[in-house]
Amino acid sequence: MENTERMEIFLEELLQKNSNYDIERIERAYRKAEEIHEGQMRKSGEDYLTHPMAVAQILADLGMDENTIIAGLLHDAVEDTPYSQEDLKKDFGDEIAVLVDGVTKLGSLVYESKEERQAENLRKMFLAMSKDIRVLIIKLADRLHNLRTINYMNESQIKEKCKETLEIYAPLASRLGIYAMKFELEDIALKELDPDVYYDLVKQVSMKKELRIDHINKVIDVIKESLDNLNIAYEIKGRNKHFYSIYRKMKYQGKQLDEIFDLTAVRVIVESVKDCYAVLGIVHTRWKPIPGRFKDYIAMPKPNRYQSLHTTVIDDNGDPFEIQIRTAEMHKIAEYGIAAHWKYKEGVEEDREEVKLAWLRQTLEWQTDLNDSREFMETLKVDLFSNQVFVFTPKGDVIELPAGSTPLDFAFKIHSAIGAKCVGAKVNGKMVPIDYTLRNGEIVDIVTSSNSKGPSIDWLKIVKSNAARNKIRQYLKKENKGEDISKGKEMLEKYIRRKGYDPQLIIRTQWINKVAKNLNISSSDDLYSQISYGGVMLSKVSTLLLGFYHEDKQLELKGKEKEIKAIEERKRVHETPTNGITVEGMDDLLVRFSKCCNPVPGDEIIGFITKGRGISVHRVDCFNIISLPESEKPRLIPVEWNQAKKNIAYNADIQILAEDRKGLFSDISRVCEDMDVHIAGVNAKSSKENIATITMTLSLTNTGQLEKVLRQLRSVQGVADVYRSSL
């Protein structure tokens, strides 16, 4: 197809979706995208332009405005081409430049891990979303098209993208109420992550499809007859549950396929709210409702503005089925969510209604307090994307909390001062303890006391929301600092001792201060205080301390180099190649490598004349050499690597500190295999805190190869530190 023909078809399709689009502006954006992406290809072999075109079409399907369509066409321009943000602003204006900047990754910065990069990209996106929610809608359209064409990626990329989609992007689509997009994202991700489960589910659902269709058609006929008699205008049809939703119910609720009531449902769309309740009355008169299975999302909408009546009833044969009842406007919102609210007039931008999203404001509040990428991601998944529970204040305000929340979570959500003075709660008028698990629809009234001693460390185990947990930690930090400092020191000493190190060697003032600075904590006292109440992980403090310990030890060892060189200058050079080593001034001596430091070509080395076992070769920074008594130092002798023997393999010991997880050693082994490095020995252990300590002996030819291996191992997921063993 010619480029001009392709463009004309694309623009015509957009006009069919919205005749108010200024098609000349969109054509200009199309031509610019075509120009700057010229020569770029997707992994499928198609022109790269097919991707921004598809993103723009998805946005048009959602009913988005003209500027969003243009931003969709140019969303990869700044990131993937020489076209700059300034060029974009000059050609298409500030608004479109802001939208594109919001979805552009932080590509120029270097991060320690993929998790840190992901966290910072999400932080940037959330900040942009707070200014304009269309940033997220464009990002979701981008992700949807990438998933539709994901089979052209390699297996590891597919797994990574699909996992991220289920954890981040599908829940975000749900938060915006764009269920059509959420369902497709989830089903594609499930199919790629677990194809056996997906296709087995498809097979099971298809086996009884005809029976369900026949059943639903009979239900529809009964409802139609009743509605026709009442002269209510309606649209009625069946609705199939998407596969990922079925999979979640089967996996997490332990249900069999036949136990899922809403596998297929009937959806009735009417003109008014009054008609919704009229239809509900007809349904409950004709069939018996199942207690506890009626949900009125019209009276109490979901935070994403979803409204509908849901009821599950029993038919004449005793089989349950679900009926959903809503207005046409409610249905539009249910399919397209926040995109359905977007206002646009031809040629005129009117004052758009500010989108008030409590969850987004909450995210912006707590993300500024979280410096740790892992903590940010966990908080995001728990507080933002977990299942929710909706409860009421005594005044009738709806409060949204993560599922499993307690009255303490509720209290801190209302106000920090109320949470700090909470001594109990009334739920539906009855007293309950502060660790009571709240359920949907309950009315919660917090009981406070001025005599309350305030939060304790135990409260951190009670609350489920990270927002409440952070407020409790802040309170503990202020109120119990002296006691916490002492407790934190004791906890750290015990942890270091359990890891096999002497706390007096590791916990030194200069290193503790460096750890505090690294974690953006104001002082060592504050660091100890945070350790005491769980504000910072012991494993992280320990890893940093050990890193500083080894780093300083290396500097200390290097201070001995001048002394070693002085010894070298006093010796007369006479080369005797032995095992790849040249010994100065001596012939026919047995030379062996010390196992305490395992030197490798490229290391600075020194020889030690042993009693009856020849010359033992050490690294100059070997602890045994540095700590050698003065009386023994005359036995040191200069040695060198024999440059003629470059392909001899030598053993080197390294130590890896990592978060213990399934597949960790497999990933570490793969790095060595990819770099053609033989693992000559391995020893691993895991602590109660789920920290793995792995000591490996690698067969190498030089220090350059060793450094490359260490760099690659540091990039493995969960690895906190990798260093060469000195002893």
Q: How far is the C-alpha of 375 from the C-alpha of 379, rounded, in Å?
A: 6
Treating both helix axes as pointing N-terminal to C-terminal, what angle do 524-532 and 509-518 enclose, rounded to 10 degrees?
70
User: Quick count: other Cβ atoms within 10 Å of Cβ 681?
Assistant: 11
Burial of 329 (0-12, 13-18, 19+ CB in 10 A): middle
- For residue 306, give the amino acid letter: Y
Residue 718's region, left for phi above 0, alpha for psi from -120 to 50, else beta, is left
Alpha carbons within 13 A on the beta-carbon side of 306: 21
In three-state secondary structure terms, 41 is strand
CA quadruple 59, 266, 298, 345: dihedral sign:
positive
Q: How far is the C-alpha of 491 from the C-alpha of 496, rounded, in Å?
A: 9
Parallel/antiparallel/unpaired status of strands 309-314 and 422-427: unpaired
- For residue 497, give the amino acid letter: R
Burial of 117 (0-12, 13-18, 19+ CB in 10 A): middle
Cβ atoms of 614 and 592 within 8 Å: the answer is yes
Treating both helix axes as pointing N-terminal to C-terminal, what angle do 94-103 and 85-92 enclose, rounded to 10 degrees?
140
Q: Is 259 a catalytic residue?
A: no
Q: How far is the C-alpha of 407 from the C-alpha of 409, rounded, in Å?
A: 5
Q: How far is the C-alpha of 407 from the C-alpha of 152, rounded, in Å?
A: 49
Which is the catalytic residue, given 22, 47, 80, 101?
Answer: 80
Q: How far is the C-alpha of 35 from the C-alpha of 48, rounded, in Å?
A: 11
**Tokens encoding 493:** 């000493």
Q: Which residues pair with 390 in a beta bridge?
A: 400
Contacts of 426 (CB under 8 A, 6+ apart): 432, 444, 445, 447
Closest CA to 138 of 302, 342, 331: 342
Which is the catalytic residue, given 13, 47, 79, 445?
Answer: 79
Q: Is 80 a catalytic residue?
A: yes
CA quadruple 25, 29, 35, 38: dihedral sign:
negative
Q: Which residues pair with 289 in a beta bridge?
A: 313
Closest CA to 484 of 531, 421, 450, 417: 531
| Residue positions annotated with a catalytic role | 79-80
